[in-house]
Structure 1
């Protein structure tokens, strides 16, 4: 495993870099936007003070660690953050992302996530997971375009909003021998596999490729276009 902390990454259209205190205005737009934060556990930031708290807790502290992937997603034309990609470096190796509504539909977050996943794979990660609220299928579509495979769904009482949420858990293996990450099952009062997963398994057995999946290597090479 190679240890590094949020190295700058450039793609054809994007700059992925660390957030800094000069980004507080952009952070407020991202973490203060109600639509962007609807399916996140925290409440939207209300002012610059709230944005600075987000920065200090979720980013500045991360940048002091030996290993972290906590990115601002910026367009190359102006280097202003319009979203974020985070990848945890232990446990579930959870991938998280968000993008301001006006920039969706252009493949931006898919391109950003793909770049981070390629970096993680080259640095020795064996697998990554990601989860999404069942009421937010567009987030799941990003996971599918990245080549991630649906594994199971589970219910969690999400804090601090204190709401009951059903999540779908996806996993992408860089090491083909990795088992499914099952810790969410252990902490959940309810978990299950949804019907569409069984339908896709039937298609795979019959030689018909499920339309929602791509091979892992192809998914990391090919661009998405919806989110």
Structure 2
């Protein structure tokens, strides 16, 4: 599987493409919003300098490595990032997403994630997982709309925010092995001290 040539994807309303250096201010808008980032492990970005480093490390540097799918979610009408959707190439093939508040409740993340999941399946990714904080059931609703199935809950001391969080783990098997359940999050919880 070669993830370094991740193709641009199109849906009815959206263009899913790589982030570029020209997207710095859009990325800052997404990752500096406190409400958008409430249920993410990292703190909201505080400056354009932080955003520049985040863009480089989280997106630009990874496009030459086999790290999976890291897409900017853009409306076709203006091709400006309003969110992101990612699937990691390595286990547990975690699906992650975020969207500017102004675009919530329009099915945009579901539409974008469906396209990326379809591409991952085509490329031979065997399954995907996704987790959400139990205090964020709307994220779980996205997972359900995508056809993902709830598997188990677990607790984790979330870093760098350093808060104990209960997560719900969902999974979708893409290769027909419907009995498979990724247990890594559960095992990680069992191996934590205390």
Which TM-score band applies after superposition, normalised by the shorter structure?
over 0.9
Say which SS state the counterpart of residue 130 (structure 2) adopts.
Answer: strand
Contact 1:155 1:189 in 2 (8 A): no
Q: What displacement does 1:53 show?
A: 1.2
Q: Compute the displacement of 1:159 (Å).
A: 0.5
**Deviations 1:36-68 (Å, cap 9, x if unpaired)?**
100001011111101111101100111111352
1:6 CA drift (Å): 2.8
Partner of 2:119: 119
Q: Per the alignment, in what secondary structure is the counterpart of residue 19 of structure 1? A: coil
Summarize deviations over 1:96-136 as a string: whole Å, max 9, x none. Answer: 00001110111101000000000001111111000000000
Structure 1, unpaired ranges of 5+: 191-227
Does residue 33 in structure 1 map to residue 29 in structure 2? no
Q: 5 Å matches for 1:17-96?
A: 17-96=17-96
Partner of 1:140: 140
Supply the distance in 2 between the matched residues of 1:5 and 1:36 (Cα, whole angstroms): 29
| Larger CA deviation: 58-67 vs 133-142 | 58-67
Q: For the residues of structure 2 that align with 1:134 and 1:66, how far apart are their CA atoms?
A: 31
Q: 1: CA distance between counterparts of 2:31 and 2:154? A: 26
SS where residue 6 of structure 1 aligns? Answer: coil
Check the 8 A contact 1:28/1:45 in 2, yes or no: yes
| Deviation readout 1:165-222 (Å, 9 max, x if unpaired) | 00000000112325100011111149xxxxxxxxxxxxxxxxxxxxxxxxxxxxxxxx
Query: RMSD between aligned alpha carbons?
Result: 1.3
What is the total number of aligned residue pairs between the two structures?
A: 190
Whose Rg is larger?
1
Partners of 2:155 and 2:190 in 1: CA distance = 7
Shift of 1:141: 0.3
Other structure's SS at 1:61 match: helix
- Correspondence for 2:154: 154
Could you tell me which residue of structure 2 aligns to residue 168 of structure 1?
A: 168
1:186 match? 187
Runs of 4+ with deviation above 3 angstroms: 1-5
TM-score (normalizing by structure 1): 0.81
- Deviation per residue, 1:119-163 (Å, 9 max, x gap): 001111111000000000000000000000000000000001000
What is the TM-score of this pair, normalised by structure 2?
A: 0.94
Greater Cα offset, 43-52 or 145-154: 43-52
Shift of 1:3: 4.1
